[in-house]
Amino acid sequence: MVRSSQQLHIPREPAPLRPAATVLLLRDSAAGIEVLMTRRSATASFAPGAYVFPGGHIDEADEAAKRIATRRPTQSRVQRTQAIAAIREAFEELGILLAHHADGSAVTAEDIAAMDRGNTAGTAFADQCAARGLVLDSDRVFTFAHWMTDRDLPRRFDVPFLVARMPEGQTPTADENEQFEPCWVHPADALARHEAGTFFMIFPTVRTLQRMATYATVDALLAACAGEVPLWTSCPRAGLLKGEDARYMEHESPYGELALVCPDGQVLHALDWQSETPVPLLKNVMRLTAPNASIMTGPGTNSYIVGDAATGYIVIDPGPNDFDHIGRLWRATHGDIRMIVCTHSHADHSPGAAPLQALCKNGSKPPIVGLASKPTARATARFAPERELEDGERLVLSGTSDAGEAVTHTLRVVHTPGHAANHLCLVLEEDGLLFSGDHILNGSTTVIDPPDGDMSAYLDSLDALDKACEAGGIEFILPAHGYVIGFARIAIGMLKAHRLKREAKIAAAMQTLPEGTPEQWLPLAYDDVPERMWPVAARSLAAHVARIRQLAAAR
């Protein structure tokens, strides 16, 4: 858990969540699924002018309406109440009624016309239905997704996005008060029109339509919802990209960084990649990205600066020998560098160490520490620290703040061979952060290049990092390439699962072509990877092949 004293921004309490429900009414067409949408009033308090799905608040009366509503055996009480609320909102906003008569006959246009959609007569929706012998079809409404409104917004809702097939013989008619222009639209068409600026939608609507567009028929989509759990749950976070708000879901690369820097959802953090100035992540952690962006390094190599003016600084991974980058590191620390740590010896991580050390002429030069490269390292990846770090060793910065308080920042060393034989990671103990070097990256998987790289060692090191995260309550991973990663243990678990899944594909390719070569196995095992990446993938394939053969020999 990050210390509150190290957070950059004064926290504020997000607006409370209010329960609501929305329903996506669907029908099949020759071109695929269509969904019913409507435009909100330009004066609406939430999402004015946006095209949305019908929905609104869950009322106490929705719970009471269960007396006239159907239920699936697997449908929970909460889901049933949500479905009833969605049915009521669809009726009030669009005149669509998911219901049937007690004898099983369908609701008619005359039934709907005879009912008061606005409850102006004071008769509740459920009472109107009961008076006409109507039964609400809540068993036909399924949970598709679960959205919680972003933390930065003044009005927030906890909303299941429900799906149901449009009842036959009914025609949507907007209430012309809050909703206008009901229309049937293909998800892909709505997305294209939104992109063109002619069909405004808010973030959850866009992402829901993107997912919906992958289903060919209404039956296929409803079948995907049969498990009675949302296909995803999200409370998006927003940052600044080119000065504009940009929103992200939990699985997207910037999400973890936004959660670390602005946990309460304030839209204050710039996500633009640049190499000129350090990016503050906490009061005691800055990131300066080297200008060496490439297919292998992503936006560039992240150099991290840990510490503050009271304690001095430790620089993690000074990066390539780039004159300007090294100068920026020195200026960001005011030359008060107590130690330079290299997570491993590769050319985009360690060559900047000696030049950075040479700039520090304030009486004592900071030691360059890490692990020496092994004989298996390539000639371009040789590194010899001034002191080798022990597994579990602690690197401590301490001082006294301007307020007279003791300040300490402790980095614990974790040996993690695999990507390189001399790879290590660092845990910032007081704040529960993991600096992962190249062992864990954001947005890609690291290359394991034998003989210095070893797949079995890599997977074992992932297990060691998972244990460290569990023991230290670590929620965030700061990689050498890409944004901060959130949900640390989940990310590690997914990474290991991905590696083992890839290994299974490689093993299958080897069985299919038992006399084949790695060049022949590569297209079979990496058929889901762009061919331009195959030369890089071939290195990790070699590491997997070596591991597969080692495991077979040990049986």
DSSP assignment of 104-141 equals: SPBP-HHHHHTS-TT-TTS--HHHHHHHTTEEE-GGG-
Phi first, then psi, for residue 68 (nearest 5°) are -120, 25
Distance, CA of 238 to CA of 96 (rounded, Å): 35
What's the average model confidence in pLDDT over 83-105?
Answer: 93
Judge: domain 277-492, CATH 3.30.360.10. no
- Contact between 339 and 366 (Cβ < 8 Å): yes
- Would you state the structure tokens that stand for residue 543, as one six-digit string? 């590491």
471: which residues sit within 8 A by CB, 6+ positions away?
none
Residue 542 phi/psi, 5-degree rounding, is -60, -40
As a dihedral over the C-alpha atoms of residue 290, residue 265, residue 163, residue 121, rounded to 10 degrees, the angle is: -160
Please provide the DSSP assignment of 220-281 as one string.
HHHHHTTTSS-S-EE--EEEEETTEEEEE-TTSTTHHHHHHH-TT--S--B----SSS-EEE
Overall size of the chain counted in residues:
555
Tokens 């890490």 sit on residue: 370
- Relative to beta strand 337-341, strand 312-316 is parallel
Domain boundaries of the chain, sorted by first residue: 17-235, 236-272, 277-492, 500-554
Give the pLDDT confidence score for residue 404 in this predicted structure. 87
- pLDDT at residue 119 greater than cutoff 80: no
Q: Which tokens sit at 150?
A: 């972003």
Which range is least confidently modeled, 130-134, 314-318, 407-411? 130-134
Neighbouring residues of 149: CB distance < 8 A, sequence distance ≥ 6: 17, 155, 156, 157, 158, 159, 235
Model's pTM, two decimal places? 0.92
Task: State the pLDDT confidence band at 361, using cuts at 50, 70 and 90.
Answer: confident
349 and 382 Cβ atoms separated by less than 8 Å: no
Q: Is the pLDDT of residue 192 over 70?
A: yes
Please give the pLDDT value at position 152: 94
Express each pLDDT in 330-359 by its tens digit.
999 999 999 999 999 999 999 999 999 999
pLDDT class for 266, splitting at 50, 70, 90?
very high
Residue pair 302/343 in contact by the 8 Å Cβ criterion: no
Q: Alpha-carbon dihedral of residues 382, 536, 458, 370, nearest 10 degrees?
A: 20
Share of the chain above pLDDT 70, in %: 99
Tell me what the pLDDT averaged over the chain comes to.
94
Q: How far apart are the first and last CA of the chain?
A: 43
- 322 pLDDT more than 60: yes
Mean pLDDT of 62-80: 92
Residue 144 has what pLDDT?
A: 97
In terms of C-beta distances under 8 Å and separation of at least 24 residues, what long-range contacts does 258-263 make, across chains too? 259/476, 259/486, 260/2, 260/476, 260/484, 260/486, 261/8, 261/9, 261/484, 262/9, 262/237, 263/2, 263/7, 263/11
Beta bridge pairs of residue 238: 247
Q: How confident is the model at residue 363 (pLDDT cuts 50, 70, 90)?
A: low
Token digits of residue 148? 């919680």
For range 38-52, the mean pLDDT: 84
Helix (H) / strand (E) containing 546: helix 534-554
Q: Which two tokens stand for residue 426?
A: 């660092």
Question: Which residue is listed with tokens 């040789």?
Answer: 382
Q: What is the pLDDT of residue 123?
A: 63
**CB of 174 closer than 8 Å to CB of 40:** no
200-243: pLDDT as tens digits: 999 999 999 999 999 999 999 999 999 999 999 999 999 999 99
pLDDT bucket at 40, cuts 50 / 70 / 90: confident
Band of pLDDT at residue 510, cut at 50, 70 and 90: very high
Record the tokens describing residue 312, joined without a space: 């001095």
- 425-459: per-residue pLDDT in tens? 999 999 999 999 999 999 889 999 999 999 999 99
Q: How confident is the model at residue 124, as a pLDDT?
A: 87
Q: Which residues fall within 8 angstroms of residue 63, CB to CB, at 6 or more apart?
A: 81, 84
Topology (CATH) of 17-235: Nucleoside Triphosphate Pyrophosphohydrolase (3.90.79)
pLDDT of residue 109: 87
